[in-house]
Amino acid sequence: MRWTAIVPYKANSLVKSRLAPVLDREDRNRLATTLLAHLQETLSRCSRIDRCLLVSKERCSVWAGDWLRDPGRGLNAALEAGAEMAGRPLLVIHGDLPLVTPDDLNALLDVAEREGIAIAPDRHETGTNAVALCDNRTFSFMFGRDSKMLHLKQLHNLRPCDFIVNRLGFQLDCDTPQDIEIAKESGWSRASEFPL
């Protein structure tokens, strides 16, 4: 099965705003592009992913895949536009996962191919860092606060243990200083480039 990956990306003064107390705008932008480049390289090493589509307000110099301009109606509307363009099977994955590996991607896609959908929550078990959709079920993206719960509500007829994928590569996103410290402790080699 040939998958399309959609990656939402924020490239402006608000990028990684929760890190503003410890990193200036230039360092936050550098962190975001470093993480995005890592994700693109990881996606390229997953043989099941045929196409990568960045959804953002502007092109990003480190992204070599396809690009779709964010229509400016919010993250979920941007992802819906990307999903409409890409079709299924579809992987939506955030670009700030320093530890994600091709093995993580394959584990998620395996579950989606078996169950029709797979969801990878963040380490707090409240957010969602990736969704893989394989079948033609109706599904609305609900990324943002409490997205895991909002996504699960749409899947009330399924048992979460069948389609939730808990792997460190998906759980750890870099939104806070603590996240960067955990990434460093977990072996992210580039963490030292962003001293807190």
Tell the residue number behind the tokens 């962190």, with chain if given.
31
Give the Cα separation of 107 and 119 in Å (integer): 11
Query: Where residue 14 sits, what CATH number does that domain have?
Result: 3.90.550.10
Q: What is the pLDDT of residue 13?
A: 62
Give the Cα separation of 79 and 97 in Å (integer): 18
Write out the residue range of the structural domain in which residue 151 sits: 3-193
User: How far apart, in Å, are the Cα atoms of 142 and each of 41, 60, 130, 136?
Assistant: 26, 24, 12, 17
Domain count, the chain: 1
| 3-class state of residue 147 by DSSP | helix
> pLDDT tens, position by position, for the chain (196 residues)?
899 999 999 877 668 888 989 999 999 999 999 999 999 999 999 999 999 999 999 888 899 989 999 888 889 999 999 999 898 999 999 999 999 999 999 999 999 999 999 999 999 999 999 999 999 888 899 998 998 888 988 887 777 778 999 999 999 999 999 999 999 999 998 888 887 7
